[in-house]
Chains A and B, each alone.
Chain A
Amino acid sequence: MEKIHINNSGYEIVPAKIVSTRKMTEQEKIFELKLVHGLSLDHEPGQFVEVSILGVGEAPISVCSSPTKRDSFEICVRAVKDGRFSNAMHNLDIGDEVGIRGPFGVGFPAAKLEGYDIIMVAGGLGIAPLRSLINYIIDNRREYGKVSLLLGCKDPQSMLFADEIDLWQKRVDINFSCTVDRGAPDWKGNVGLITSLIPNVNIDPERTYAVVVGPPVMYKFVIKELLSKGIPEHQILVSLERHMKCGLGKCGHCQIHNIYCCQDGPVFSYNNIKELKGAI
Chain B
Amino acid sequence: MKKPKVAFFDFACCEGCQLQVANLGEDLLDILDTIDVVEFREVMTEKWDQGYDVAVIEGSITNEHAIEKIKRIRERSKILIAYGSCATIGGVNGMKNDFELNEIEAHVYQENAKHFKTVPTMAVSQVVKVDYFVNGCPIYPPEFITVLKCALAGLPYHVPDNVVCVECKINENICMYDKGVTCLGPVTKAGCNSWCINNGNVCYGCRGMVSNPNENSAKDVLSKYNISLDLIKNKMNMYNKCRELNKNEKDKS
Q: Which residues of A contact B (CB under 8 A)?
A: 55-56, 82-84, 87-88, 91
Contact = CB atoms under 8 A, between A and B. Distances in A.
Interface of B: 153-156, 158
A82 B153 contact: no
A88 B155 contact: yes
Contacts of A55: 153
Nearest to B157: A84
13 contacts: A55-B153, A56-B153, A56-B155, A82-B156, A82-B158, A83-B156, A84-B155, A84-B156, A84-B158, A87-B156, A88-B154, A88-B155, A91-B154
Contacts, number: 13
Contacts of A84: 155-156, 158
Contacts of B158: 82, 84
Rank and list the top 7 A-B pairs by shortest CB-CB distance, nearest first: A82-B156, A84-B156, A84-B155, A56-B155, A88-B155, A55-B153, A82-B158
A91 B158 CA distance: 20
Contacts of A91: 154
Task: Give the interface SS of chain A, mostly helix, strand, loop or mixed.
Answer: loop
A83 to B, nearest CB: 8
Contacts of A88: 154-155
A82 B155 CA distance: 9
Nearest to A82: B156
A2 B154 CA distance: 34
Contacts of B153: 55-56
Nearest to A56: B155
Nearest to B153: A55
Contacts of B156: 82-84, 87
A101 to B, nearest CB: 21
Nearest to B150: A84
A91 B155 CA distance: 11
A84 B150 CA distance: 10
A87 B156 CA distance: 9
A83 B155 CA distance: 9
A84 B156 CA distance: 6
Nearest to A91: B154
A142 to B, nearest CB: 48
A88 B150 CA distance: 11
Contacts of A87: 156
A84 B153 CA distance: 11
Nearest to B149: A55
A240 to B, nearest CB: 25
Nearest to B155: A84
A69 to B, nearest CB: 32
Contacts of A56: 153, 155
A84 B158 CA distance: 9
B60 to A, nearest CB: 25
A202 B156 CA distance: 49
A84 B155 CA distance: 6
A252 to B, nearest CB: 15
A79 to B, nearest CB: 12
Nearest to A88: B155
Contacts of B155: 56, 84, 88
Contacts of A82: 156, 158
A7 B158 CA distance: 32
Contacts of A83: 156
Q: Which of B153, B154, B155, B158 has the most CB of A within 10 A?
A: B155
B146 to A, nearest CB: 12
B200 to A, nearest CB: 27
Query: Which of A82, A84, A91 has the most B CB atoms < 10 Å from its CB?
Result: A84
B3 to A, nearest CB: 18
Given A87-B156, A88-B154, A91-B154, 10 more contacts: A55-B153, A56-B153, A56-B155, A82-B156, A82-B158, A83-B156, A84-B155, A84-B156, A84-B158, A88-B155
A55 to B, nearest CB: 6
A84 B154 CA distance: 9
A83 B156 CA distance: 8
A52 B158 CA distance: 19
A216 B45 CA distance: 57
A43 to B, nearest CB: 29
